[in-house]
Structure 1
């Protein structure tokens, strides 16, 4: 059988070129730590990686939203605890005033203290959250504003924060829900009717500072204060349940991120041990091919005639 000289050289060149390219590829995989250099390397893996990266970006946004929701819920819980403390103080003061044993000066002093509690509650209602927005407000502006002796409470429900695909959480409540006892919840989530806690406390303060005060003037004030405290506790319990949900979702996303990273690593990262062994094997074959080519290309007819 005869083999053309050009065919011999072409085959040798193609073989060594292929081995050289494979060597370069393996060295690149080792140096970069990535086994995929282009979509053509593994189209299925590249498509899967694109989906994983898209999910990772989405979850990062959700994790940030969960952090915001957690911060607002904690601030809301702290503020509601402070509101409860203020209502408890008001209850103690009214109980003291209802005994009828105080002189006018002491009674009026208690009235001033309760007026101070109203001011404190208004400030708590008007607090800002970490985003600089009204903590207990909605789309109505400031949640509790004194206007001519009355108190306007934000009633429009606040927007929910997205925390997952098709999931969201309402991180705070409106001042109307916190400071309104009774009333009817309308279709749009606002509250109609009921007793305004701030207005009720303001009325108690005015009664205590009146010169015409009698023990019966306080009427159902203690019962009203008890109902107001119960309403705040109800809202606080609701926020607590949402905080638990946020914690669970945060944990879930952390676990999902770990699983996704493991999957990504299996698809994209270089297996150093296997790749180094493959590189050594390829270099050995390349060296043997080069040596064989050198030996065969050096032969001539005179070598056979010796």
Structure 2
């Protein structure tokens, strides 16, 4: 088999081009510490890396949401704690008012204190959250409650607050609606809200009408209200615990995903340097051989 001069040149040139390209690629991998930069480097690995990046972006968003929800839950617990304190004061005043030895003036003083508690509860119900929105405003985002000129209180926010996604298929309600927190209290005459319960007692004490009976009835209702607030705080704590678990899960998943990414994308610097040295040695030898062969002529052989 005869090999023409052009074939010799072409094969040598092609080989040197391949070796040079390989050396360039290895040098790039070493300098960037990345062995995959385009899909042509490794199509399968490139797709896996793209998937990992998307998952990382999603989990970054989930992590940010978790921080927001944790902040809201902390604020909810603190505010509910203040509500609980006000209701305890109201319950103590109801017990104090359930005394036939009190005169009208004494009852009016207690009634005024209860009216002040209603004002405080309205303020707590309309607390703004860290985002500047009503903490208990419900899904409508309106002010939670409104107080009319006659002192009566009505709920203005409607629906339950929207859940916030904190993981794939995992949503958490960061707050409760005002109706859930302050309303739905069982009383002797049906269901009511804490504002109406306390206001009714305050009116009975101020007018000195059936004060003891009103105090006893309100006292029982306020015990139920305190139980409801306690349950709400317990729910907040449970949701906080769920977020802790989700945070731990995201951390574990991120570590596993990073290990996968590193194995696919990061350069094994020691191995790459060794391979580069081998490639440069072969390239140098090939260049030297090509130079010698290309300088040969028929006269060299004749001499």
Instruction: Provide the TM-score with structure 1 as the length reference.
Output: 0.89
| Residue aligning to 1:289 | 286
Instruction: Please give the per-residue CA displacement for 1:257-295, whole angstroms capped at 9, x wherever unaligned.
Output: 221121111111211111111111100111111112222
Map 1:135-146; keep pairs closer than 5 Å.
135-140=135-140, 141-146=142-147
Show the 5 A alignment for 1:37-52.
37-52=37-52
Q: Corresponding residue for 1:189?
A: none
**Is the Cα contact below 8 Å between 2:137 and 2:178 reproduced in 1?**
yes
Deviation at 1:60, TM superposition (A): 1.9
Q: Which runs of 4+ in 1 moved over 6 A?
A: none
Shift of 1:17: 0.9
Q: How far apart are the structure 1 equivalents of 2:171 and 2:208?
A: 53
Rounded to whole Å, the distance in 2 between the matches of 1:261 and 1:5 is: 53
Cα RMSD of the aligned pairs, angstroms, is 2.0
1:86/1:121 contact within 8 Å kept: yes
Question: Unpaired runs of 5+ in structure 2?
Answer: none
Residue pairs, 1:47-66, within 5 angstroms = 47-66=47-66
Deviation at 1:297, TM superposition (A): 2.3
Structure 1 partner of 2:27: 27
Q: Counterparts of 2:60 and 2:25 in 1: how far apart (Å)? A: 33
Superposition deviation, residue 101 in structure 1: 4.5
- Partner of 1:303 in structure 2? 300
How many residue pairs were aligned?
Answer: 297
- Residues 137-158 of structure 1: CA deviation (Å, up to 9, x unaligned): 2145222211243221245222
Does 1:159 pair with 2:162? yes
CA distance in 2, matches of 1:170, 1:287: 67
Q: Does 1:202 align with 2:192?
A: no
- The aligned counterpart of 1:253 is 250
For structure 1, the residue ranges without an aligned partner over 5 or more in a row are 184-192
What's the offset of the Cα at 1:75? 0.9
Aligned to 1:267: 264
**Mean alpha-carbon deviation: is it higher for 272-281 or for 126-135?**
126-135
